[in-house]
Amino acid sequence: MRERRNYLLILGAIAALLVGAVLLAVPGSPAYKKPTLGLDLQGGLEVVLRAVPQKGQSIDPQQMQVAQQVITQRVNSIGLASPNIAIQGGNEIVIQLAGVHDVAKAAKTIGSTGQLQMFDFETSLVPPTLSFAVTDLQYVLTFAVMLAVGLVVGQLTAGLRYQARIAMHRERRSHSLFEVARALSGELVVDQVVETASKAIEREFRARVRIYVLSEDDRLTLARGDVDTQGLDPGTARWAFDHRQAAGLGTDTIPGSSWHYLPLNASMRTRGVLAFQPESPRLFAVPEQRRQLETFAALTAIALERVHYVDVAQKATVQIESERLRNSLLSALSHDLRTPLAGLTGLAESLRMTEPSLSAAQHEIAEELVSSAIRMSAQVNNLLDMARFESGEFRLTSSWNSVEEMIGSAVRLSKRVLASRTLKTDVPADLPLVKCDAVLIERVLVNLLENSAKYTPPDAIVEIVAQSVGEEMRVTVVDNGPGIRPGSEQEIFNKFSRGVRESAISGVGLGLAICKAIVEAHGGSISAANRGGRGAAFTFTLPISKEQPLAPEADEFEVTE
């Protein structure tokens, strides 16, 4: 709208100038004057503007001097020599128009240029002087033209000045954002990011700044150990964090607060809260200031997220290297121990069967020696298998197998471990076949039965339940022991994690980890939970293929007695 109005004013001024030029150029018209222009080249360039006055009025000498200075500056600006100017005559319109641009430079309000030029011309040069009376009709047109030109030039100059000021302000804001972004990009820890961002915001907005960051347990804490918490409200900061919205000063949430709480929203999650207390709340109400602060907060959030993932990557690298070293040591240790342990187990078995027969005490010692050798051999095998699973060196040998047969084989292998415990099975006869590695699935069942035997009393009841649910086979091992420590249902499947951390129960915490590795390699899952009454339940699933193998015909087999 402003540009359209300026164009209309310019068109009006041009039209007025054209009308004036026609009137002045037509001989016999009331406004016609015959100007003369003389050039005297002796002693330099001399420009003489003459106009024949109607009534012979003279020009004020002081006004002539000012006009001479203005025209001198105009001639110098186009590269001519400094002129010696003499003005004669009574119509000094050109001199007045020449000062329009200079007056427009100093004008503080739009439109003041045209008014000032018109009033100056009317009171100083138009007879009678020092009066607003007009005795000659030609000066009405002059007033209109000067007012139009002054208004147009004044508005254009003021608009350019405003745009220049806005451009300088935006350039300064862009430069400050660039400096902050460059400074934050080089920070590597949270405290450095907080310190850099706080100083930059305090310097840019002249305000107090405090930044809340997340601790390891997802609690908001003040960074840098700030002790000056006057006026801060952790509850409002937590609300802004949870809702990912600004709160406090200038918002609809607790607007009476003197602090503005702005969440540091990053791409993945909110990384903290920026608390901001401006010296002048009125300046904070400016939309550009709010947008600038939000940009600073976004840069801070990005820097905090970058530092977080740098820390995560470093920890992951250290963990990978630690796991690799540990697996190498376990593999080497297991290989070195397997041979002597196998020999020790064989010697213990031979000692128990020597002739003459051992006494009762000696036989008990031999039985304990065999049992200890078997347990130690199983632990070494677990170490070796775990290292083999994690290194990716094992391959599944999948075939169609019956769940009932795998459960029966696992029960036979676990008879020594279960001892006096009662074992029940609930396996329907119409279960579909499962394509899996039977040896490894039997290993899963044996480990689960051994785990139940370790943590249940001798008179406990252990039950195995198998059922087909949808497109998966679900097998559950249930006992009536003390159950699982609350909160550790997932932790117990980690390596070297045990249900009871400090106990006399043998084991190194690898049995359930091996079960998880085997089941997940088959595309299934495993979980643990406490029963409603007493005991624990371990459940693993295996996928059931829609394409079952064809059952053999009855006449293909020959039954012999």
> Domains in the chain, start-ordered, CATH in brackets?
2-161 (no CATH), 186-394 (3.30.450.40), 396-543 (3.30.565.10)
- Rounded to an integer, the average pLDDT of 535-548 is 88
Q: Please state, in angstroms and rounded to a whole number, the distance separating the CA atoms of residues 512 and 526.
A: 9
Res 514 pLDDT > 50: yes
Mean per-residue pLDDT, 226-249: 86
Identify the pLDDT of residue 490: 87
Q: Quick check: 15 pLDDT over 80? A: no
Summarised one tens digit per residue, pLDDT across range 266-299 is 988 999 999 989 888 887 778 888 888 999 999 9
Q: What is the pTM of this model?
A: 0.50
**CB atoms inside a 10 Å sphere around CB 442:** 21
Distance CA 16, CA 118 (A): 15
- The answer, yes or no, to whether residue 496 has pLDDT greater than 80, is no
pLDDT of residue 388: 72
User: Residue 465 and residue 427: Cα distance in Å, rounded?
Assistant: 6
Q: Report which of residues 225 and 190 the model is more confident about.
A: 190
Helix H or strand E segment including 56: none
- At 505 the pLDDT is 61
Q: Say if residue 36's pLDDT is above 70.
A: no
Give the whole-angstrom CA distance, residue 213 versus residue 93.
Answer: 70
Q: Which of 183-187, 250-254, 524-528 is the most confident on average? A: 524-528
pLDDT at 321 over 70: yes
What is the reported pLDDT for 162? 86
Residues 6+ apart with CB under 8 A from 122: 132, 134, 139, 143
CA dihedral 453, 455, 457, 463 (to 10 degrees): -50
Nearest residue to 179 via CA among 96, 77, 299: 299
Per-residue confidence band for 6, with pLDDT thresholds at 50, 70 and 90: low
The percent of residues above 70 in pLDDT, for the chain, comes to: 67
What is the model's pLDDT at position 76? 53
Residue 182 has pLDDT above 80, yes or no: yes
User: Per-residue pLDDT for 144 more than 80?
Assistant: no
SS3 category, 542: strand
Q: Which residue has the higher pLDDT, 170 or 561?
A: 170
- The model's pLDDT over 42-92, given as tens digits with 9 standing for 90+, comes to 333 333 333 333 444 454 555 555 555 555 555 455 444 444 444 443 445
Confidence grade of residue 485 (pLDDT, cut at 50, 70, 90): confident
- Report whether pLDDT(235) > 80: yes
97 pLDDT more than 70: no
Helix extents (H) in 47-137: 61-77, 93-98, 100-106, 112-124
pLDDT above 90 coverage of the chain, percent:
20
What CA–CA distances, in Å, run from 160 to 99, 101, 105, 121, 167? Answer: 18, 13, 10, 26, 10
| pLDDT band with cut points at 50, 70 and 90 for residue 157 | confident
Dist. CA 211–CA 188, nearest whole Å: 17
Per-residue confidence at 384, pLDDT binned at 50, 70, 90? confident
Q: Phi/psi of residue 474, each to 5°?
A: -115, 120
Query: If you search the block for the tokens 């990716």, which residue do you land on?
Result: 392
pLDDT tens for 388-402 read 776 666 678 889 999
- On whether the CB atoms of residues 283 and 289 are closer than 8 A, the answer is yes
Give 337-357 pLDDT, tens digit per residue.
777 777 777 887 787 777 777
| Beta-bridge partner residues of 474 | 467, 541
Measured from the Cβ of residue 201, the count of other Cβ atoms closer than 10 Å reads 23
Question: Which amino acid is residue 260, in one-letter code?
Answer: H
Determine the pLDDT at residue 305.
Answer: 92
Asked whether the predicted pLDDT for residue 18 surpasses 70, the reply is no
Q: What is the pLDDT of residue 62?
A: 59
Looking at residue 301, its pLDDT comes to 93
* Chain mean pLDDT for the chain: 75
Rounded Cα distance between 507 and 383, Å, is: 11
Mean per-residue pLDDT, 141-170: 80
The DSSP 8-state label assigned to residue 554 in this structure reads G
Q: Residue 508 has what pLDDT?
A: 64
Tell me the C-alpha distance between 3 and 152, whole Å.
Answer: 11
- Residue 436's CB is within 10 A of a number of other CB atoms, namely 26
Confidence of residue 115 (pLDDT cuts 50, 70, 90): low
